[in-house]
């Protein structure tokens, strides 16, 4: 029988799953996110009849498509649940939609197309912090949103559903090219697990973005990591939060765990040039 899966399976995700299962904070976070979004939770906003639930359950068994079942009962795919539990990164510009939206140039100047949409107070707050940072390369004022997925009018078409949208500060940093290393996206998520978990435990509710093979510098491809600090959460003491993110990214232990002993020195040198 041909499997009619709507959502393609992520390859080699087992290592990532093992990491989540080994961290109590992580699996508790996942469990809470699932419960908060479950259709029978009065606050979930998901309307599912007994017949729809039963059909979704049986289709999951027949088609071996867990994410389609999770969509029906929680409006989240498996990887949506992981992202919205802040356990794996969001993809840069996922599903062909620009996210995050960068609103300043490389010198911290507001781009002309956003001068009428950004509050002057928000921009000045960003610019004052930007000017005082020791390393302000690849730091931007930006908008970003968290999302899950819903079925469109045609059940075979899946659409993004925006959960929340914020303005804040985005830090982008270069990482080694995992495509060149022949790693899948799930393996890449696993590789940055320690770094991301450290960021989330110290900066809870920060959005982490990841782009595999998406950063280009001098015609060379790299992966990129984005840390987005929403003003709604981090506006107070924002400068200290930015510095904390930098400290975690450049911490010797974090880089050592991520890149390994062999490439640690070269990687550290390149990151400090970003």
Q: Kindly report, residue by residue over 14-68, the tens digit of the pLDDT.
A: 888 888 999 999 999 999 999 998 887 766 566 778 898 898 889 888 988 888 8
Does one domain contain both 38 and 139? no
Query: How confident is residue 215, by pLDDT bands cut at 50, 70 and 90?
Result: low
112: left (phi over 0), alpha (psi -120 to 50) or beta: alpha
pLDDT higher than 60, residue 73? yes
CB-based contacts of 241, cutoff 8 Å, min separation 6: 203, 229, 234
Give domain status of residue 104, yes or no. yes
On whether residue 2 sits in a domain, the answer given is no
Six-digit token string for 112: 């002309």
CB 238 within 8 A of CB 169: yes
In a domain, 82, yes or no: yes
- Same domain as 186, residue 153: yes
What average pLDDT does this structure show over 242-250? Answer: 84
Residues 81 and 127 in one domain: no
| Per-residue pLDDT at 181 | 59
Same domain, 28 and 103: no
Other beta carbons within 10 angstroms of residue 229's beta carbon come to: 24
More confident residue, 235 or 252: 235
Q: What is the pLDDT of residue 136?
A: 87
Residues 116, 23 share a domain: no
What integer best gives the mean pLDDT of the chain?
Answer: 79
Instruction: Look at residues 39, 35, 32 and name the one whose alpha carbon lies nearest to residue 72.
Output: 39
Give how many domains the chain has, as a whole number.
2
Cβ atoms 222, 211 nearer than 8 A: no
Write down which residue in 88, 110, 125 finishes a domain.
Answer: 88
Q: Are residues 100 and 73 in the same domain?
A: no
Residue 3: burial class (beta carbons within 10 Å; 0-12, 13-18, 19+): exposed
Confidence of residue 9 (pLDDT cuts 50, 70, 90): low
Collapsed DSSP state (helix, strand, coil) of residue 161 = strand
The reported pLDDT for the residue numbered 29 is 95
Co-location of 223 and 159 in the same domain: yes
Q: What is the mean pLDDT of residues 81-86?
A: 93
Tell whether 28 and 152 lie within a shared domain: no
Is 3 inside a domain boundary? no
Q: So what's the pLDDT on residue 271?
A: 34
Q: Is residue 207 part of a domain?
A: yes
Q: Give 134's strand partners.
A: none
Query: From edge to edge, which strands make up the β-sheet containing 139-151?
Result: 90-91, 207-217, 220-230, 158-175, 139-151, 101-102
Looking at residue 144, what is its pLDDT? 97
Question: Which of 38-42, 178-182, 261-265, 266-270 is the most confident on average?
Answer: 38-42
Residue 261 scores a pLDDT above 90: no
pLDDT digits (tens, 9 = 90+) for 151-206: 766 767 788 999 999 999 999 987 765 545 556 666 666 667 888 888 999 999 99
Q: Is residue 263 located within the same domain as residue 168?
A: yes
- Considering the domain architecture, whether residues 22 and 97 belong to the same structural domain is answered as no
Q: Could you tell me which residue, 268 or 200, shows the higher pLDDT?
A: 200
Residue 48: domain span: 11-88
Residue 6 covered by a domain: no
Question: 32 exposed, middle or buried (CB, 10 Å; 0-12, 13-18, 19+)?
Answer: exposed
Is 5 a member of any domain? no
- Mark whether 196 and 112 lie in a shared domain: yes
Query: Which are the contacts of 39, defined by CB distance < 8 A and separation ≥ 6?
Result: 46, 47, 48, 53, 72, 73, 74
**CB neighbourhood size of 122 (10 A):** 16
3-state DSSP assignment of residue 13: coil
Asked if 163 and 142 sit in the same domain, the reply is: yes
Comparison of pLDDT for 207 and 2, the residue scoring more: 207
Which of 54, 88, 122 delimits the end of a domain?
88
Last residue of a domain, one of 40, 56, 88: 88
> Which is higher by pLDDT, 127 or 177?
127
Distance CA 214, CA 216 (A): 7
Residue 190 belongs to a domain: yes
């Amino acid at each position: 029988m041909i499997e009619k899966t709507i959502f393609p399976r992520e390859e080699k995700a087992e290592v990532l799953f093992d990491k989540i299962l080994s961290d109590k904070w992580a699996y508790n976070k996942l469990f809470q996110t699932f419960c908060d979004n479950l259709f029978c939770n009065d606050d979930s906003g998901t309307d599912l009849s007994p017949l729809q639930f039963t059909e979704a359950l049986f289709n999951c068994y027949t088609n071996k498509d867990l994410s389609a079942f999770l969509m029906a009962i929680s409006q989240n795919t498996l990887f949506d649940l992981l992202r919205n539990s802040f356990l794996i990164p969001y993809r840069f510009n996922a599903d062909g939609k620009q996210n995050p939206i960068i609103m300043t140039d490389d010198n911290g100047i507001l781009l002309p197309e956003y001068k009428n949409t950004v509050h002057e107070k928000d921009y000045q707050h960003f610019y004052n912090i930007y000017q005082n940072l020791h390393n302000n390369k690849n730091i931007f004022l930006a908008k970003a949103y968290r999302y899950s997925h819903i079925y469109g009018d045609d059940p075979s078409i899946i659409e993004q559903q925006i959960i929340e949208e914020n303005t804040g500060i985005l830090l982008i940093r270069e990482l080694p090219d995992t495509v060149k290393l022949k790693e899948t996206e799930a393996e890449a998520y696993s590789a940055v697990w320690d770094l991301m978990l450290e960021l989330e435990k110290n900066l809870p509710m920060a959005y982490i973005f990841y782009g595999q093979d998406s950063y280009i510098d001098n015609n060379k491809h790299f992966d990129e990591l984005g840390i987005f600090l929403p003003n709604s959460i981090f506006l107070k003491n924002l400068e200290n939060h930015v510095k904390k993110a930098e400290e975690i990214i450049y911490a010797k232990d974090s880089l050592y765990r991520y890149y390994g002993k062999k490439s640690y020195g070269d990687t550290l040198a390149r990151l400090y040039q970003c």
